[in-house]
Every structure is written in structure tokens, then in C-alpha cells.
Structure 1
Amino acid sequence: MPPSPSPSSPSPPWTGTAALLLLLLAVPLPETRWGAHGPRVAGALRVQEQFATPNRTNNFAVDRVSGRVYLATVNTVYQLNGTLAAEVELNTGPVEDNLLCHAPQLPQAPCEHPKTPTDNHNKLLVLDPGQGVAVVCGSVYQGFCELRRMDDISRVAVEFPPRGEKTVFPSMLNVAANHPNASTVGLVFRSHGGRTRLLVGSTYTGAGTPFFPRNHSKEDLRFENTPEIAIRSLDVRDLSRLFTYDINPSEDNVFKIKQEVKTKNKLNFVHAFARDAYSYIAINNDAKTGHKESQPNSILARICLDADGPKRSNSGSESRKLTESYIQMPLQCGPSGNIYNRLLSVFPADVYDHDARRPYLFGVFSRSDKKSALCAFRFADIEEEIRQGRRNCSNSPSSDVQVLDSVIQGSGAACIQKGNLVVSSKKLLYDDPKVS
């Protein structure tokens, strides 16, 4: 068992059926006693403030500068101050919608299917303090996103698509999952070139999935071309490229599973977070649910965030393609034969062991008997597994670390042993010259 997280580390999010947000205050006890496996007593928690609404909580985010809390529920987004007092309330639904209709923001896209009042489940709520905007994406209108002002969530920060804009594509509008039970995760980051980008992981909900209407329609408005993972433009100064895949050719910035193997890779996204120059995405592969309970279904994927890097060439420069930097490994919680094989929540945090700062990844897992467990993984171990997988030409069937060459559409991650890479010491993220 690892040491306890530092008191300064943020607490993992609390979720429930109803929208009840609690502000917890850590109360240190007079003395902290350390045992062989960490502190025996660290403190206690008590409720300081609370905010309740009648609707189900979907997401929340906190602005570290202002202390504001943004709470997204079904059909409503709230802006709260640092003591959880309501400042602004934004109604986002119900709206007139139909899963088989294009988003109404798409010019000249009439829909012949009847529309009915549809609840708007918030799928993504992320903050971009650098531009002063909150990215708010719902399940209606094919997963349409809005950019709203962080100082007043009820006000649109950027009109998108711009009024009168004719060059609008469905891929710019279909960002989040368009079904209440389908997952979406995301994070905002800036590339080395200074451009703001949005990484999104979204469950595929089109034809052949449980999410698609069972009316034998051939229309698939979650679109075959909508990728499971994508890096999108989020630069408000360039509205013509907003939410596009932000690299030309755009296929370099998408991770799309081939149609013929989508049923074997039913991805349910849990959380996305950044660490160093990488993004990590925690995933469950629901295609394995109910089969071989001893096998882990939980996955931790890693991709390069710096999509501005130079393309791979004979000199061994790092590739810009998202698919070529993608690599994944299983997250196993529990010993063989007693594995908790579904990830419920994951949270990175630094812990302190006798004044030594060590990064960990904490995960809450469950299994079919409804029992759950908390497991902690050292990032040093995770990084070493990935390095070793690269060295071992990780698309081999015998490797636990995979790059999914046979699954993704387009070129996948190249094995280290396939080329004689020469990397200057200035470009190394680790001391290992074989790390791509």
C-alpha cells in the first residue's frame, strides 16, 4: 500500500445519482504516525458546504484561480463561487432533437424525422483559463459543443459556427457522444507552437451498437468517420478551424478503429489527464465484459501531446501522427484469479514517503459480484512497462503492451527495432535513447 496523498493534492471527484456537490475540508490531527506502509492516521474530513439540485450530476470542474466551481447536470449547468453558492444557472435542455437528424447548426441540413423533447446530458465540461472559456458539450445535436465564458457561464464566449458561415462539416459539430449512456472524456492543452487544442475520447454510438435506434435505418449520424480519439483545434482566434482535427492532413490527428473490428473494441472512456509531454486515457473495453472474469478489461493508453513535432523521417524525428505515438497497457487490480476487471475512476496524485515525492496513479475497480477495490500504480512502473513494450516490438501477440497496428485505421506505432533511430540528447524525455 503506498503512502497517503499529500494534503495539498486535490480530492478525487464525488459522484452520485442526484446532483449533490460537497466541499470537504481536511482536518489534520495533532500528530501523524508513520508505520511500515505509510501513515496510520492522516486526518479526517467533514462537510463544510454543499450544493444540491434535483438532476443527475454529469461533470464538474474547478477554476484554481477564481475558486469557482462549474457543475454540469442533466439539462442544467451551474456556476458556483468558492463556497458553493450559486452565481449563474444555465438551462441546456430539453431541446427538440432526433438521433437521426444532423445538428441544426449544420447549414442546409433539413431533417425528415420527427423531433421530440430530448434531455441534454452533459458529456464534457473542461476549462481553458488561458482563453477564458469553458467547453460545454452535451448529448443532444450529435454531441455539439459550445464555448462559454468562464466569468459568466450563461453567456456564449464565441459564436460557433460563425453567423453566415457556409463551410461547416459534421466532424466540426459531432464532438461528444450523442447518447446518455455513452462516455466522453477530454482535456485542454497547448502545443509547443502555442496553439490551444482539445483532446477528446468518445464512445462510438453508430450503427451496430446498442446506442443506435433499432429501426433498421441505414443512417448513421454518429458517422463512420468520427474517431474514437481525436485532437481538435480550440483556438478561438481561428474560428474556421475550431473543433477541426487541426493538422493537414487531418488523419494525422485521429485514432479511429476499423469498422470490422469495432465490436471487439467497444471502448468506454473513464478519464483523460496530462503528465509531462503525454496524455493518458483510462479506458474499459466492454467487448470483453462477461467473458473470462480473470482477465483485465481495463486499459491505460498513452499518446504524445506535442502534435506540432516534426514528422518522422530517416533521421528518426518523432512522428506527428497520433496513431504512431499511441500505446496501451492493461491495468490489473488484484492477483490472478481475483481480478477487479472494470475501472470506475482513476486519479493521478503525488504522494510523499518520508519526504520523497513519488507520482502514483490511483484507480477504483469493480467486478461482477459488485465488490470494489482501490489499487495504486507507480508511474515509474507504468513508464518502464511502456519502454519495455517499445523495445520488444510491442505489436507482437506475446506482449501485454500493445500498439493496435491491426485495429486502428491508418498507420500504427512503429516498433523501435524496425528502424535505427538516432535521437539527440536534447530531445530525450527519459534517459533511454530508444523511447519514441
Structure 2
Amino acid sequence: MPPSMEIAVLLLGVLGLEMRWSASALHIQQAFASPNLTNNFVVDPVSRKVYLATVNTVYQLNGTLSVEVEKRTGPVEDNLLCHAPQLPQAPCEHPKSLTDNYNKLLKLDREQGVVVVCGSVYQGFCELRRMGNISEIAVEFPPQGEKTVFPSMLNIAANHPNASTVGLIFKSHGGNTRLLVGTTYTGAGTQFFPKNHSKEDLRFENTPEIAIRSLNIKDLSRLFTYDINPSEDNVFKIKQEVKTKNKLNFVHAFIQKTYSYIAFNNDAKMGHKESQPNSILARICLDSDSPRKTTGPESRKLTESYIQMPLQCGSTGNIYNRLLSVYPAEVHAEGGWEPYLFGVFSKADRKAALCAFKFGDIEEEIRQGRRNCSNSPSSDVQVLDSVIQGSGAVCIQKGNLVLQPEQLDCGAAHLQHPLALRRSLKALPLFEYPALSSVSVDTVHNHAVVFLGTSNGRLHKVRHTAMALRNLDFPSSRSEKRKECLLRLEFCLGTSELAAEVQFSE
């Protein structure tokens, strides 16, 4: 999927649309073209500034998409087998060459006044740039003269152009800022490092698939570390010997209520039965501003609350088994507003579909899974034995144990293990169309308006009423009726162009 397509579609939802309903075409009010492929963007909701990351360059744009600041971030002299040059005790003996820097993560932290910018070079190194002037480094990291620097503090994003990285920033109830990151194992350097070498020598290859890291700029000695507790309780790390059998391709990370959700595909399962869904939604409980009961000043183990479930878009014989994009949104239904997760899924033949899942159903499936695991052996849930932390246990009967609501949602001390539900949460397609690649949702006058981007640079607008969304299991005979909701649009967007303030004409 061209990154710029996702950027444009998401920007429509973030910047907001002046919705004046009419049958006329849409008009692009402002546009910005970059000479390089776009990777990520973030919008400051207060200043309306747009921070845009492309290959080798980051931009700061104003609300009309005019350039305020431009800063080159690459190419740089690098080698996949070298530690980041910010690690003073590890000189590199391998020859370096000019290497393009693909932006992997771009996140805005308004409270601390920084923009987190992470690239593919230097083993996935992150910088903290100044909000309001992205050309300036806000926090020098590692600090000059700092001797105690570990690779885990530097190796954060994926170190390969085609590997995925997702993340989100949240605040713990203790007042500390945290960065949750999910990143794909690349295997780019594994063969060069003998098994008897220390973990520190594995460069990016030893980075956890999921980690909660410190982002408190007032505590530079712990910045970007996931050693927030005395032990590594804030990581989800697949065992080195089975990483290639559990290769996770991350799609998106987001917060809903006090939970973080991470959507991804398990690419290691591709090539088996194509009808089997390999799209996964994982949930982790956050120690956020709305804390639940905890046993100490810090959050619980990540693996204690971690639970995942397969998502299935489609029915037998017509399953879209690869997740491309997700977007959480509240939809007006009878009785008020209800949260849904919208997702675009695809098949090998490039056909794609839009499905929607109720968060209420997601939450109930998680509670039932924990009940099943704690009360009796169950074929519906298993312990993830591929993960280092929390490995070795199985779901066994715990007598007449009754789990409290907090334990059903976030795990319990007697079951400190990551869980996987086997049964897919299913939904039938709301809309089917070739080459869909991204989704964003807005609500106008109690109608859900879904913007769908395609891989060939088109934008579609699909409008569903609350009544239609309340019943997601549409019979196939209504597929043509659903297509009447589509407004097909020519969208002047290339692989390097960003558009904003799209408006309906009078």
C-alpha cells in the first residue's frame, strides 16, 4: 500500500471535513507534494501543524500544507550489522555505505513538547525533535558523555524498509509518559551472530516484538528503556528459535477505554490454508490515567494482561484473511453511541472488503476466554508458549475459582501468561471492492461516513446509517444496494502527495 494513500485517508478524519451534502464532486483545497515516498504523519490538534515524515526527510507544515520547516534525516553511513553509532562502546568493523532512512514511527507528545521520530537506520534509532520546530533536537539522547548506554535503549523501530512498526504514547497514572511499540522481527542480521554470543550482540534482532518503554524526558537514564520495573515485565518477546515461525506484521496500535489494542498479521501462517484467517487483534491493559486496582505503584506485567484473538472478515469460501488497516470509531445506534472497530481486509487476488466489529463483542470474548482458561481445559483458548515471559503454563481447572471483573479483563496473578483465543470473531463484509488499502471513519448527523483509500490512489466514501450498522450480517442479496452508497471519486494523489481540507461543493 502506498503510504501516502493511508496518510491522505487518515488526514481526512483528523483534520475534519466541512460536510455539505450534495451530489457534486469533492474539491482539493490544499495539497503538498514531496519528492520522496511518504511514510507517516501526525497532526497537532491545537496548532493545526502537520508533521510529515518521508524517506530521508521530515517536514513541518502549517494548516494549509505550506512548508514551515524541512529537515533531512538521510541517507546516512550505515550497515545492518553495525550497532548504532550512539553506542560508544561498540565500534563497527563492517564497511558502511549510504543508506536511506525510512521513517518507521512519528508520534506527537504535546505535554512534553516533543515529536518522536524513529527511522530504519542505526538499528531503528529514535530522536526527540522539538514540537514547533522539527529541525531541532529537543532532547540530546544519549546525553553527551553518557557511558551507560545499552542497545535496548537505541534499537526501537524496525531496521528494514519493508518491516512494520506501530506505536502509541500514553500516560501512566503515576504521571510518567510511556511509549508502546510493536515492531516486526526482520532477521536481517541473525545469521551473522553465533548463538553463544551475548544478547547484546544481536543488535535489533533481540528487540521485543512488543514493548512498553519509558518516555519521560526528565529521566534520561531510563529513556526508551522497558526496564521500568526491576525486571523486564513490560515486553512481549518471542523466543529466538521460533521467531521465524511467528513473524508478526503490525498494522496499527490504538487506545480504546483504558486498553491498548494492537492489530497485526501473523505472516508465518501465510502459504498454509488461505481460508484460515491470520489477522490478529491483541489487547494489553494500560496503567493509564483511569487506573484499575493494582498491586503496586507500577503497571502489571504486560504478558499478564496480554490476550489476542483472530478476526475473520467474510464467511466460508469467501474469507478476506489479511488485515490492511483498522480504525476505531463510535457509531450512533439505537440507545446511543456504540464503539466499533472498522477494518479493511484483502485476499490473494487483490479483492478487498470492509468489515466492522463491536468492541462489546471483543470485550465479552476476552472475558469468556479467561473464564474458560481458569475453570477448565478448553480448546477455545491457549497459552502462548512461543513467548519468553510467562511461558510454560497451560489452561487448567482452578476448582471453583470465580474471577472478578478486573481479572476477567486484565488477567490475574495466578495466570501470568499471554493467552490466545482460537475462535475467530467474525463479521460479514459491509462493502467489497478491489484494491482497498486503508480506512478512516467520521460521523456526520448520526451517520457513519467511511472513507476508503485504494492502492491505486482513489478515495471512496461509503455512507451507512445507524440502522445498517446495527445489523452487520447483511445477506448477500443486498450487496448491490450497498454499492449504491458508494460515491466514486477521482483523487489527485500520487505516491508523494498529501491532500487536506477536502470539501463538498455547494
Contact in 2 for aligned 1:23/1:50 (Cα 8 Å):
no
Tell me the residue number matched to 2:336. Answer: 356
- Indicate whether 1:137 and 2:111 are aligned: no
Match of 1:235 in 2: 216
Matched AA of 1:290: G
Aligned to 1:337: 317
Q: Hey, what's the Cα distance between the residues in 2 that align with 1:165 and 1:434?
A: 38
> Structure 1 residues 355, 132: CA separation in 2 closer, same or farther (over 3 Å shift)?
farther
2:4 to 7, 16, 25: 16
1:351, distance to aligned residue in structure 2 (A): 1.4
Q: Structure 1 CA distance, aligned partners of 2:246 and 2:308?
A: 13
Q: Does structure 1 retain, via aligned residues, the 8 Å contact 2:239–2:386?
A: yes
> Quick one: structure 1 residues 108 and 241, their matched pair in 2 at CA, closer, same or farther if it must change by over 3 Å?
same
Q: For residue 246 of structure 1, report the CA deviation from its aligned partner.
A: 4.0
Amino acid at match of 2:100: D
**Paired position in structure 2 for 1:407:** 386
Q: Cα offset for 1:102?
A: 0.5
Within 2, Cα distance between the matches of 1:434 and 1:80? 41
Q: Mapping of 1:231-270 within 5 angstroms?
A: 231-270=212-251
In structure 1, the partner of 2:443 is: none
Aligned with residue 93 of structure 2, among 112, 123, 126: 112
Q: Distance in 1 between matches of 2:227 and 2:293?
A: 15
1:47 is displaced (CA, Å) by: 1.9
- State how far apart, in whole Å, the 1-side matches of 2:85 and 2:308 are: 37
Task: Give the superposition deviation at 1:109.
Answer: 1.4
CA distance in 2 between partners of 1:342 and 1:331 (Å): 9
**Is 1:26 equivalent to 2:34 in the alignment?**
no
Q: For residue 328 of structure 1, what is the amino acid of its counterpart?
A: Q
Shift of 1:82: 1.1
SS at structure 2 position matched to 1:154 = strand
Deviation at 1:44, TM superposition (A): 6.9
Give the letter for the 1:16 counterpart: S
Aligned to 1:141, the other structure's residue is in SS state coil
Alignment partners' CA distance in 2, 1:108 and 1:160: 15
After the TM superposition, which residues 174-253 of structure 1 pair with which residues of structure 2 at under 5 Å, given as runs?
Answer: 174-206=155-187, 211-212=188-189, 218=194, 221-223=202-204, 225-253=206-234
Structure 1's 102 and 310: CA in aligned 2 closer, same or farther, altered over 3 A? Answer: farther
Aligned length: 399
Alignment partner of 1:168 is 2:168: no
| 1:321 equivalent in structure 2 | 301
- Displacement after TM superposition at 1:306 (Å): 1.0
Partner of 2:30: 49
Partner of 1:38: none
Task: Report deviation, 1:46.
Answer: 3.4
**Residue 263 of structure 1, CA deviation:** 2.2
Could you list the per-position Cα deviations for residues 183-209 of structure 1 after superposition, in whole angstroms to 9, with x for gaps in the alignment? 100000011111000000011123xxx
The one-letter code of the counterpart of 1:15 is: P
Structure 1 position 96, deviation (Å): 0.1
After superposition, the Cα gap between the structure-2 partners of 1:434 and 1:67, relative to the gap in structure 1 and judged at 3 Å, is: closer
1:79 aligns with 2:60: yes
Match of 1:9 in 2: none
Q: CA deviation at 1:262?
A: 1.5
> In the alignment, residue 120 of structure 1 is paired with which amino acid?
N
Gap regions ≥5 residues in structure 1: 1-12, 32-40
Contact kept? 1:326, 1:403, Cα under 8 Å: no
For residue 469 of structure 2, what is the aligned residue in structure 1?
A: none
Partner of 1:371: 351
Q: Are the aligned partners of 1:389 and 1:402 in contact in 2 as well (CA < 8 Å)?
A: no
Using the alignment, how far apart are the partners of 1:108 and 1:186 within structure 2?
A: 29
**Does the 8 A contact of 1:230 with 1:253 survive in 2?**
yes
Task: Report Cα offsets for 1:357-380 as digits up to 9, x if no partner.
Answer: 111101111110111111111111
Q: Deviations over 1:98-156 (max 9, x none)?
A: 00001000012111100000000000001111101110000000000000111110001
Matches within 5 A, 1:412-431: 418=398, 420=401, 423=404
CA distance 1:319–1:80, change in 2 (3 Å): closer
Q: Which residue of 2 aligns with 1:301?
A: 282
Higher helix share: 2
1:34 match: none
d(CA) in 1 for partners of 2:154 and 2:25? 45
How much does 1:65 deviate? 1.1
Equivalent position SS for 1:249: coil
The whole-number CA distance in structure 2 between the counterparts of 1:396 and 1:370 is: 39
Amino-acid identity (%): 71
Partner SS for 1:365: strand
Q: Partners of 1:18 and 1:199 in 2: how far apart?
A: 21
TM-score by length of 1: 0.83
- Aligned residue type for 1:28: M
TM-score, normalised relative to structure 2: 0.72
2-side partners of 1:358 and 1:154: how far apart? 41
Change in Cα spacing, 1:152 to 1:223, as seen in structure 2 (3 Å) is closer
Q: Deviations over 1:207-234 (max 9, x none)?
A: xxxx4487x5648643553211000000
Question: Cα gap change, 1:250/1:146 in structure 2, threshold over 3 Å: closer, same or farther?
Answer: farther
Q: Which has the bigger relative contact order, CA under 8 A and spacing at least 6?
A: 2
Q: 1:291-322 CA deviation, whole Å, 9 max, x = no partner?
A: 11110010000001118977769xxx997110
C-alpha deviation, 1:15, in angstroms: 3.4
1:335: Cα distance to partner? 0.6
CA 1:49/1:223 → structure 2, altered by over 3 Å: closer, same or farther? closer
| Helix, strand or coil at the partner of 2:167 | strand
Decide whether the 8 Å contact of 1:390 with 1:415 is kept in 2.
Answer: no
Structure 2 counterpart of 1:385? 365
Whichever residue aligns with residue 172 of structure 2, its letter is S
Tell me how far 1:51 sits from its aligned partner.
0.7
Change (3 A) 1:161 1:433: closer
Structure 1: distance between partners of 2:165 and 2:410: 33
Paired AA for residue 323 in structure 2: L
In structure 2, how many angstroms separate the alpha carbons of the residues matched to 1:165 and 1:421? Answer: 51
Residue 403 of structure 1 and its aligned partner are, at CA, apart by 4.6
